[in-house]
Each structure stands twice: as C-alpha cells, then as structure tokens.
Copies of this chain bind each other. A is one copy, B any other.
C-alpha cells in the first residue's frame, strides 16, 4: 500500500500562487459558512486518534475574506455531550463583543445539537486563525485559519507573486479529557511534551521525514500520498517572491520556523504591518501570527526544508515539524540538504533579539503619550489547597457559569466575585526565587475599565515553584491590538525602565511574550466595549488559572443577542421575567 519515503508523491499545498489580475473593486461582502463540529477519527501525525473536526476536516476550513467583509458562521454542535465556543483570534469584534467565542465570558457554551450564529466584521487585512475557547478544546484539534486580504482597490505595502499559509500546532496522543483531569489533580499530572509538531494539522510521529539526515536510522516514513499526515509541500517557481503566512495555535510549544538556505523578511505581525526586517528564522509563540516574504533565489535544482522546532523547553522535546519548498519543475522529493538551523532551545538571547527587531511600519497609529491607568500583573505559580495553579497578583482565575457579558450588562448580583483583583503587587516580591508564600486564592473577579482610557499593563515574570525555573508565557488580549512598549529583564522599575519604553514606533500586536525573569509593558486604548479575556495562551496554563478579565465600558454594549447569554443567571433572569 505505502510506497517508500523516497518515492512517494506528497500532497501539494493548495496556494494562490502567482496571483492574476486584480479583480475589479466591489463593495464588502457577507460571507456565510455552515459548520458542524464533531469528533472523528483522524491521523494528524500518522497515528490514529480522536480529533475535533469541522465539517469532517482537520484543521477546520480556512476562512478567506477581504477587509470590510462580514463573516457569518452558523456553528452547529454535533458533539455528543460537550458544549462549544469558537474564538476568532485577532478579530477585535467592534460592536459584536458577544461574537468573541469565549465560553463563560462573551457567551454561553453552545449546547449539543444547538446552532449559534457568529456574525462579525473583519475590518483589517492580516493573518488570523480561530480556535475552540472552552475547556481544552483547542488542544483537541478545534482550530483553523482565517485570512483577510486587503479590500478591493487597496494594496499591501509590499509585493509578492504568490502566497502560502501555515498554521502551526502541537499534538498529544493522550486525549484532552485525560489531560484536564491530570491538570486538576493533586498531585498535578503535567501534560508533558507534545508527541508531534503539526503544520496545517500534519506531522509525522516515530517516522521523522528527516530521519535519513540523522545517523542512518531506519525509521523512514512510508506514507501514502493521500495520508492525512503527509506534509503539504510548498511548490514554488524559481526567482519569485512569496508571502508565507504563519500562525501558531499550539497548546504549549514555542516554535522557531526556518527555511533552509532562504532568508526571510518579516512584514506582518498579528494582523499589523511591521517595518520589514530580514531574519534567518522566526520565533513564534502560541497566539501569534506573522507574514514573511522569501525569494526563490537558491539553486533551483534542489528542494529545501521548512522546519518548526520547539524552543524554550528542556529536551527531550518532539522532533521538528517539517515540510519543504519544492522548486518547480523538480519532483516533490524530500530535500537532500541539512535541516535549517534554529537557535538552541535555551538561547533566550536570540529570542529577545528577535522580539526587539519588530517595530511598526511607518505611518501606523502611535500610542497616546500618557496612560490613564496602569495595571501591574505578577505572574506566579502557586498552590491552592495543595493544587498547583498559575496566578496573577496571587489570584488564579476561575470562570463563572454565567457569561460576564450578560451578568455585567444586566447588573446581576452574585454571578461572579464582586471584588476586583489587585492592580499591583508588593514591591518587595523577589522574582528570582520561588514564592516565599506560595498560597494563592481563586476568584472570578474582573478589572473594570472605563471607556476610552489608555491602559498600560506591566506583565512581570517570576520564578516558578521550583528553584531556577521561570517559564515563557505568551499573553493574548481579546478585543484589542495593543502596542508593545518594551521588554526587559528583572523587576520592572518605573525609574529605571520607564524612559526606555518605545513610544515612537512600537508594534501593534494581540499577543506578546514575557521572557523568563523578565517584564513586558503594553498599552492599549479602551475603545471597544465588551468583556475581554487577557490570558496566557498556553492552554494548560489558562486551564490552571493564568488569565484576567477586562470588563470594558459594558454599559455601552448594545443589543446582546439573547441566545448568547441564555444560561446561568441571565437565563434565570429571562425565566423570571417570563413569569413576572
């Protein structure tokens, strides 16, 4: 059945290579999608497993639209007993905060056999994605790409001849229900490293594509051309420039992407243009997206590897996820060259250097010069009744059963913890050592934010529970892009670091990392009424409480559809009014 590794025909990545003439300008469209979410058997990394798919596909269908379009997704839950919610990562949901897809925050989970209609505008061109935002359904495979082109008549500020899109993820053989139980157990059972890194949902477990490059091991792949785990090969013409869109929806892994022999030029981050900068490889954390340009100017008689390698976590880690550039008219056989070099897993200096290269393209909005409010968020690992949690200012987030958007809008009492979490932490906290008092509390409290205030958030990393451990956390903000004003090491100090912040050309992003023992400062304007999660995008960290909730000018939210909030106390309110 299977042909050998050397000869098999790989799946060709369907791309819009070599764009034709620009279509005539037309007004924005409403694009309708009918999706059914169900569990199904699938072999993401050549090993069969149960995967959460959409319309029988994994990853889910790619949404492609133009800036200004309206997306309408009729999402039907065909799971047997599980609720559901899908978040449109990077879409700000102006005027539609109930469409953000965060169960318990912006809406009730969609029950089995129910259909919820997501309707929202994609106002800005860029590389986005979507994913489940309930329990750990993202880890179960519920994700896909969302690409927004410039509106008709508009142009990107760079040229390319064709494009490709790669959505990165990581994959475990243990099902998410078991992962969840382990994370909620005392003692904690950590999920461990993923078995595979996937590119567009495709990886190779125990059968590295690149095995032949190693020590002559015999673990060669014997993939059928139509195998669900066969890599999508990027077919390119020589001497052209391509745009490669890359987004990461990993549960855990920080990745580094590189193309053998090819330089890349970064041009977009999280749906925002950046000042073009040449790089050899790119770091990409969960929740981030980039566009890079590369030119097919290398020896055209060869093919070239593309690798996505795990970073920041101590080996053993999974082998890199792989695919390759197939220079046409070569046959799509695997490259004979070495894998591209990624920095060592613990080369944090390279990571910081990469992060600091990213600044906004000239002409993009710059931040207000002053903040109106400043929130310090101390990231710590803690114990609560002996259970290991992640906490922010000593508070570990638990979500209420009634979505905040409804309970705050309708001023319901008791739907979540009244008390807002602290805005800062003790200046005596020693971030270099494990917490002296590791006990924390759990709360569903929110930060209330007034309309149009300029908010600075200082994310402060610390040492975890074990000595000499400080982890990377990519923080993602819903409903907003924010400016990244700066990164630094040690404890943030206004006197020492305030002056170093970049107010001139900070990049706009929706996700930003804090480095081990470091700090990151961001700024955003609270111009989008809604309830927005701001959280570590590592799925098990969020599950362990690593997030906060911004309740932003909710009094200004109008016309929440009843069906978004017909559960918990808002559901009871509807029933009460029914009898009253």
Q: Does A437 contact B (CB under 8 A)?
A: no
Asked if B114 contacts A401 (CB within 8 A), the reply is: yes
Interface residue? A50 (CB, 8 A): yes
A177: contacting residue among B39, B136, B401, CB under 8 A: B39
Q: How large is the interface on A (under 10, 10 to 19, 20 to 34, 35 or more residues)?
A: 35 or more
Q: How far is the CA of A567 from the CA of B136 in the complex (A)?
A: 24
Contact for A109 among B112, B566, B573, CB less than 8 A: B112
Specify which of B184, B563, B578 is in contact with A578 (CB 8 Å cutoff): B578
Q: Which residues from 524 to 580 on chain A have a C-beta closer than 8 Å to any C-beta of chain B?
A: 562-563, 566-568, 571-575, 577-579
* Contact (Cβ within 8 A) A80 B135: yes
Within the complex, the shortest CB–CB distance from A460 to chain B, in Å, comes to 29
A172 to chain B, nearest CB (A): 14
Complex: chain B residue closest to A567, CB-CB = B111
Evaluate contact between A575 and B572: CB separation under 8 angstroms. Answer: no
Check B135–A41 contact: CB distance below 8 A.
no
Contact B136 A401 (CB under 8 A): no
In the bound complex, do residue B39 and residue A181 qualify as a contact, i.e. CB atoms below 8 Å apart?
yes
In the complex, whether A81 has a CB less than 8 A from a CB of chain B is: yes
**Chain A 68-92 interface mask (CB, 8 Å, partner B; 1/0):** 0000000000001111100000000
Quick one: given A82-B82, A83-B111, are A178 and B175 in contact (CB under 8 Å)? yes
Q: Which residues of B contact A193 (CB under 8 A)?
A: none
**Residues on B with beta carbons closer than 8 Å to the beta carbon of A401:** 111-114
Q: Render A386-406 as a binary contact track against B, CB cut-off 8 A, 1 for contact.
A: 000000000000011100000
A98 interface hit (Cβ, 8 Å): no
Give the docked Cα–Cα distance between A157 and B529 (Å): 70
Task: Verify A81–B80 contact, CB threshold 8 A.
Answer: no
A577 to B579, CA, bound (A): 9
CA distance A111 to B189 in the complex (A): 26
CA distance A81 to B79 in the complex (A): 11
Contact A181 B575 (CB under 8 A): no
Interface contact B575-A81, CB-CB below 8 Å:
no
Bound-complex Cα distance A75 to B572 (A) = 18
Q: How far is the CB of A29 from chain B (nearest CB, A)?
A: 30
Looking at the assembled complex, report how far the CB atom of A441 sits from the nearest CB atom of chain B, in whole angstroms: 18
A40 contacts the other chain (Cβ, under 8 Å)?
Answer: yes
- Binary flags per residue of A401-423, CB closer than 8 Å to B gives 1, else 0: 10000000000000000000000
A336 at the interface (CB under 8 A from B): no
- B residues near A571, Cβ cutoff 8 Å: 566, 571, 574
Query: Inside 8 A of A185's CB, which chain B residues have their CB?
Result: 40-41
* Chain B residues, Cβ within 8 Å of A579: 562
Minimal beta-carbon separation of A404 from chain B (angstroms): 13
Residue ranges of A at the interface with B (Cβ–Cβ < 8 Å):
38-41, 50, 80-84, 108-109, 111-114, 134-137, 175, 177-178, 180-182, 184-185, 189, 399-401, 562-563, 566-568, 571-575, 577-579
